Structure 1
């Protein structure tokens, strides 16, 4: 009887962890969907809502490492000065993994459909739950 009770407790605990994990990954997916929509409205500030608004944010791209939320936004504005340059963004998620209660990893592909030349590449995003909100703390995009 004690073993059955212990097994039941373990099962219930694992179910709770799995549901929490799924819920967190769903929240992250929702933020990515919002970012995609903001980009497609040419709303860079809205797109940046998914990022940690901190000087400790890291963005790693073809030009190297950028430190900070504002510097990352400024780089986006220089690279994509208007809706035509921005095109239409589509994310394809290849892998999501919750690494701990408050850290997750998302790997995927991005594609910009534009009038002139389409662009595409891959990304890895490190997410952290800070003050109850999931945010990107490191973005490595190529």
Structure 2
């Protein structure tokens, strides 16, 4: 309990500009990931995740770590711009939990000619060596069925 109270005191004592700067840094990580995906740079996209310790949860299952997730993206999305689609993250809310921990919850849309998808990401960020990385990524996704 004392450690929780100490963490709350640290957060409360931090200047507002520090929290604004930290939130901006986290949102930059996500913006860089979005840009990397949209240019077909899956390794650049994965740079936002803590390698190799990241935990991915999607489709009700734990995924196969950092490398397995990279392999999945290259195999299942990397054939062409049409299969990769255009990714957009939006409605993102960042909660700073501690000086080195934050949670982001937001939406995403993956526009593709076939199998467009939308969903929600919940991401735990941790700060290592002055940089923010995603250490846990949970995706709740659904396919957008085209209207006929």
Provide TM-score, normalisation by structure 1.
0.83
- Greater helix percent: which structure? 1
Q: For residue 115 of structure 2, give the secondary structure of its aligned residue in structure 1.
A: coil
Find out whether 1:117 has 2:107 as its counterpart: no
The 4+ residue runs of structure 1 with deviation greater than 2 A are 13-17
The answer on whether the counterparts of 1:91 and 1:110 sit within 8 Å (CA) in structure 2 is: yes
What stretches of structure 1 of length at least 5 have no aligned partner?
1-12
Count of matched residue pairs: 129
Residue 19 of structure 1 deviates from its aligned partner by 1.2
Q: Aligned partners of 1:119, 1:80: CA distance in 2, in Å? A: 12
> Do the aligned residues in 1 keep the contact of 2:40 with 2:78 (CA within 8 Å)?
no
Work out the CA distance in 2 between the residues paired with 1:28 and 1:64: 26
CA contact (8 A) 1:105 1:126 kept: yes
2:48 aligned with 1:50, yes or no?
yes
* TM-score (ref. length: structure 2): 0.80
- Residue 61 in structure 1 maps to residue 54 in structure 2: no
Residue in 2 aligned with 1:3? Answer: none
1:79 corresponds in structure 2 to 76
Instruction: Name the SS for the 1:50 alignment partner.
Output: coil
